[in-house]
């Protein structure tokens, strides 16, 4: 029986973790299994992610959305197994950065950390943008003044409100993990209840003959081979991967959880399985109700694809439609706050081990949180959103697709890191064959294929929203620019802080299972 969680942050631990990795001054034992799962679900933000991704996914794969959700779930689950094994061996807040460094060396490890930070910075900006849109939509619904919703389209006002959301989320994230948990219990519980109500109402409306475009449920919706082309399949999977992203936040908290060897891995698995069930329920319900046509409420209508929940909330829930807007607003705001956990702790680890300036290693002496890294994440995310808001009117669509690429990038590196790190233990047991070799290798290969395919396809100016820069698709430009910026910063850090890149602060570890003298 576990001890009750304290309302005050616990004292930091010092010394060394398993594998010789040093602790960083974060609070110890502050998060239990349930708390980790709730924060994981919050970071995924089911209400926000599905309303943002369902329309674009339908445009790529039609009624095969359930199939693509399951296909996107498979690499996530396979990679999660690899994450679990690495966490058991090396519980460290740096996760992908630390593990890839111990497996492949400092250069690849640095880029894995950069991929994680870049992905979370992108999604932080995206979350803030969704929160802004739904704030104005909610006010318009409650006041019965549709014109208010149009205020979100005013760039300067949109960015100003976005900055306010980021500031509020930063304030909570800067404080101790208990504050984060208490807030997330309420916000996550509310959005899940509303989503189940929304799906249930859509199914009831369909079965009672009151649907917009009633579509009979068919098991063929689960057939991924019915998708027209591999490019459409890859685009759909990239979007599907986006809707599952965020579960690894449970592992970046590993230095702050109870039983850090097992709790983070268990929380990640429970989080991913819970989310896939919820997504399938919602996708099937809305396909049954609205179909994939391009009519007013059809999921194939390009005018509603960037926000299908808002478009369908009125027809399905009537006077309770505002609950859906409130749920998405709650989801994006909650995720905006919980998502700060991941980049802040990765940046903390990178600063701690000398891969970034020492300022990133600062921990708040009052709250035992990575204060400086949290503030930097907030500033960069706000700046990225402000720039993108003026560059592209379809900022949400383009950043979602770019995010899918970055997720494939650093998840793939981490999966391969698991395979290589445990190479001396592959055949020690049947369990090891699957969990340290087969599963993470399959997950890594799938993600690598999706990354390369998306990178090639996104060069087309018509890819994504159709925005382009110098004749190249904006998604491609964003993805390549983010990776190249990472390379430039890495080289600069190698010049300024060579100790890490010589393996003096975080060395290439002996493969698991090898005896050290």
Neighbours of 492 (CB within 10 A): 10
What letter does residue 35 receive in the DSSP assignment? H
pLDDT confidence tier of residue 19, bands split at 50, 70 and 90: very low
pLDDT confidence tier of residue 256, bands split at 50, 70 and 90: confident
The overall average pLDDT reported for the chain is 82
pLDDT digits 0-9 by tens, 110-120: 999 999 888 88
CA–CA separation, 202 and 450 (whole Å): 33
Taking Cα atoms as reference points, which of 198, 263, 238, 194 lies closest to residue 39? 263
Q: Partners of 22 in the beta sheet?
A: 16
Return the pLDDT at 396. Answer: 60
Taking Cα atoms as reference points, which of 282, 270, 277, 281 lies closest to residue 328? 282
Distance of CA 380 to the CA centre of its chain: 17
128 Cβ contact list (under 8 Å, min separation 6): 162, 165, 166, 169, 332, 336, 381, 382, 385
pLDDT digits 0-9 by tens, 154-189: 888 888 888 888 888 888 777 766 666 677 788 888
What letter does residue 468 receive in the DSSP assignment? E
Q: Is the pLDDT of residue 300 over 80?
A: yes
CA–CA separation, 517 and 500 (whole Å): 23
pLDDT confidence tier of residue 288, bands split at 50, 70 and 90: very high
CB 324 within 8 A of CB 313: yes
- Residue 138, classified by CB atoms within 10 Å of its CB into exposed (0-12), middle (13-18) or buried (19+), is buried
Question: Of the ranges 240-244, 462-466, 474-478, which is most confident?
Answer: 474-478
């Amino acid at each position: 029986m576990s001890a009750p969680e304290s309302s005050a942050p616990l004292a930091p631990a010092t010394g060394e973790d398993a594998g010789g990795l040093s602790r960083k001054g974060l609070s110890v034992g502050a998060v239990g299994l349930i708390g980790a799962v709730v924060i994981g679900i919050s970071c995924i933000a089911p209400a926000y992610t599905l309303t943002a991704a369902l329309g674009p996914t339908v445009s790529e794969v039609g009624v095969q959305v359930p199939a693509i959700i399951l296909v996107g779930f498979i690499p996530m689950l396979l990679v999660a197994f690899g994450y679990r094994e690495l966490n058991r061996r090396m519980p460290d807040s740096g996760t992908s950065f630390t593990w890839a460094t111990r497996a492949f060396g400092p250069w690849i490890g640095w880029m894995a950390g950069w991929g994680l930070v870049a992905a979370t910075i992108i999604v932080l900006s995206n979350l803030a943008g969704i929160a802004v849109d739904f704030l104005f939509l909610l006010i318009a619904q409650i006041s019965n003044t549709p014109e208010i919703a149009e205020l979100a389209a005013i760039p300067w006002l949109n960015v100003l409100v976005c900055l306010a959301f980021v500031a509020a989320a930063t304030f909570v994230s800067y404080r101790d993990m208990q504050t984060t948990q208490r807030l997330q219990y309420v916000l996550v519980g509310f959005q899940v209840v509303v989503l189940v109500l929304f799906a249930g109402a859509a199914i009831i409306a369909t079965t009672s003959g009151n649907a917009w475009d009633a579509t009979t449920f068919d098991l063929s919706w689960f057939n991924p081979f019915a998708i027209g082309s591999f490019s459409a399949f890859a685009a759909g999977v990239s979007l599907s991967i986006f809707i599952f992203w965020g579960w690894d936040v449970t592992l970046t908290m590993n230095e702050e959880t109870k039983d850090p060897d097992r709790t983070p891995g268990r929380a990640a698995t429970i989080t991913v399985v819970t989310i896939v069930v919820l997504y399938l329920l919602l996708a099937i319900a809305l396909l049954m109700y609205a179909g994939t046509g391009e009519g007013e409420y059809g999921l194939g209508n390009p005018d509603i694809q960037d926000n299908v929940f808002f478009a369908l909330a009125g027809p399905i829930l009537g006077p309770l439609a505002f609950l859906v807007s409130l749920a998405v607003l709650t989801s994006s705001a909650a995720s905006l706050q919980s998502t700060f956990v991941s980049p802040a702790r990765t940046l903390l680890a990178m600063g701690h081990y000398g891969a970034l300036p020492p300022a990133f290693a600062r921990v708040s002496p009052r709250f035992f949180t990575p204060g400086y890294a949290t503030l930097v994440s907030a500033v960069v995310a706000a700046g990225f959103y402000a720039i993108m808001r003026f560059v592209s009117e379809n900022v949400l669509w383009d950043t979602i697709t770019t995010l899918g690429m970055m997720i494939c990038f650093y998840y793939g590196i981490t999966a391969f890191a698991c395979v290589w790190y445990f190479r001396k233990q592959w055949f020690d047991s049947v369990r090891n064959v699957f969990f340290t070799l087969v599963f993470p290798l399959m997950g890594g290969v799938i993600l690598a294929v999706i990354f390369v395919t998306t990178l090639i396809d996104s060069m087309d100016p018509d890819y994504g929203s159709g925005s382009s820069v110098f004749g190249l698709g904006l998604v491609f430009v964003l993805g390549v620019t983010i990776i190249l910026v990472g390379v430039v910063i890495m080289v600069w850090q190698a010049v300024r802080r060579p100790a890490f890149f010589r393996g003096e602060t975080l060395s290439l570890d002996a493969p698991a299972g090898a005896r050290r003298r």
